[in-house]
Amino acid sequence: EPEVTQTPSHQVTQMGQEVILRCVPISNHLYFYWYRQILGQKVEFLVSFYNNEISEKSEIFDDQFSVERPDGSNFTLKIRSTKLEDSAMYFCASAVGQGARNEQFFGPGTRLTVL
């Protein structure tokens, strides 16, 4: 069964460093998402991406964040200069279509720890 994969499973970085979180969505999916969950808090939407453009982003997704689909398979989230408060579990999701009727399939997450 096709699944969304994410690498690495755990990333430890120093404050101020750049990190890139990688996701491989399901191959025929066209819509891509990043969510995050700070420990003990809700899963929060960060950004949605379609046709090589951001279609929606939350207020969390500031200039320190960027997303890219560098090739036909990967979908990445870059944090330019990490802060302590960026420590969280980051989930990638993909969907074949847009809107609530199209299930978003989630990856297992990348746990980011900023020291």
Residues found near another protein in the complex (CB under 8 A): 3-4, 9, 31, 33, 35, 41-45, 48, 55-56, 58, 91, 93, 98-101, 103-109
Nearest CB to another protein, comparing residues 72 and 101: 101
The least distance separating another protein from the CB of residue 14, rounded to whole angstroms, comes to: 25
Q: Which residue has the tokens 């491989």?
A: 24
List the one residue out of 106, 113, 114, 99 whose CA is nearest residue 2: 106
What is the β-pairing status of strands 19-24 and 75-79?
antiparallel
The least distance separating another protein from the CB of residue 83, rounded to whole angstroms, comes to: 23
The least distance separating another protein from the CB of residue 98, rounded to whole angstroms, comes to: 6
Number of H helices, E strands in the chain: 0, 11
Local structure of residue 16 (DSSP, 8 states): T
At 23, which amino acid appears? C
Nearest CB to another protein, comparing residues 8 and 16: 8
The least distance separating another protein from the CB of residue 46, rounded to whole angstroms, comes to: 9
